[in-house]
Amino acid sequence: MKRKNVLLSFVMLLTVSLFLAACGSSGGNGGSGDGDGAEKPQFLSMLTGGTSGTYYPLGGELSKIITDETGIETTANSSNASADNMAALAAGDAELAFTQTDVASNAIEGINSFEGKAIDNVLAIGSLYPETIQIVTSADSGIESVEDLKGKTVSVGAPGSGTYVNAEQILEAHGLSIEDDIEAQNLDFGESTGGIQDGTIDAAFITAGTPTGAVEGLSATVDVKIVPIAEDKIEELVAEFPYYAKDVIPAGTYGLEEDVTTVAVLAMLVVTDSLSEDVVYDITKAIYENTDKISHAKGEFIKKESALNGVGIDLHPGAEKYFKEAGILE
């Protein structure tokens, strides 16, 4: 009998020990919890853009910073960029993504390419750098203005990309439509510049930070022209779509002989609301406190002081916490 009591006591002690161990590892101040009761993930997927654009190489650097600073293995993956990235986050296919500020606003509001498909589980981390709308052609194409695109074969961006929306809005501001006035091609940046080089297309809309790798590659073999947007049309676009801003591509870029006026939106990072406040706080802090580790040319524009510029959707609570601590938000 005594032996049975000892055995029973041992079993009870073991059960209590296992229960306490489980409690200690499920959040709180220890184990793999991240401090707010949610589990800290081991892996994160970041969606970027095409391999010949700006998102992909910059995303690779940001992913490394997040991995090094937070201990969460983060991988940058190529994609069709902005609009597709928002849809993928909504579907739970990734946790982080690059997108354009205008595309994010459209997705949350359920307008333009998101008509009837509003997204409600994606929040902002912060903006990164200006993304310039570049209407690229060759110097001998005869295309001098946006109106000259009528009847031409023009790439308007990969399906689901923010570039498509920009092309649609800019063409409409000039009295043109994608469906009726141009021969539209849905190509990514590399395919677009390749098409201009071999003559299969006449021009391409490319929304990306300048200089863009694909356009630089084109300028090595072809004299590049960037079609300007007239000042009055810029004013119209900004008045109707406040996420646009006037931008200038400086002379010397791609071998240009003079400055070219155009418009820009902002690149931003977004995240699903499934990630906890503590995890997103750590991610946000990792990015904006380690910009000196970014070798990409766009790194100079990534600053906590300007991280809320153009952000038209709600911040994730983790990002909000960081920007309040940094004195950017009250």
Between the CA of residue 316 and those of 59, 248, 273, 324, what are the distances in Å? Answer: 19, 32, 7, 12
Q: What is the DSSP-derived secondary structure letter of residue 315? A: B
- CA 329 remoteness from chain centre: 22
Can the peptide bond before residue 211 be classed as cis, meaning omega within 30 degrees of 0? yes
The confidence score (pLDDT) of residue 43 equals: 97
Question: Would you tell me which CATH number, out of the four given (3.40.50.300, 3.40.190.10, 3.10.180.10, 3.40.50.1100), belongs to the domain 131-265?
Answer: 3.40.190.10
Query: What is the topology classification, in CATH, of domain 43-129+267-325?
Result: D-Maltodextrin-Binding Protein; domain 2 (3.40.190)
For 242, phi then psi, to 5°, come to -60, -15
At residue 230, does pLDDT exceed 80? Answer: yes
Answer yes or no: are the C-beta atoms of 106 and 268 closer than 8 Å: no
Task: Output the pTM of the full model.
Answer: 0.71
Answer yes or no: are the C-beta atoms of 245 and 238 closer than 8 Å: yes
The confidence score (pLDDT) of residue 24 equals: 40
Domains 43-129+267-325 and 131-265 are alike in CATH topology: yes
The CA distance from 110 to 119, in Å, is: 7
The confidence score (pLDDT) of residue 161 equals: 73
For 130, phi then psi, to 5°, come to -70, 140
Over residues 274-288, mean pLDDT: 98
Between the CA of residue 288 and those of 57, 97, 201, 312, what are the distances in Å? Answer: 17, 16, 40, 19
At residue 15, does pLDDT exceed 60? Answer: no
Residue with tokens 């021969």: 183
Q: How is the chain split into domains, by residue range?
A: 43-129+267-325, 131-265
Q: At what angle do helices 101-109 and 82-90 cross, to 10 degrees?
A: 40
The CA distance from 15 to 21, in Å, is: 10
For 51, phi then psi, to 5°, come to -65, -20
For the chain, the straight-line distance linking the first and the last C-alpha, in angstroms and rounded, comes to: 69
The confidence score (pLDDT) of residue 160 equals: 63
The confidence score (pLDDT) of residue 53 equals: 80
At residue 10, does pLDDT exceed 80? Answer: no
Digit-coded pLDDT (tens) for 61-98: 999 999 999 999 999 999 988 889 999 999 999 999 99
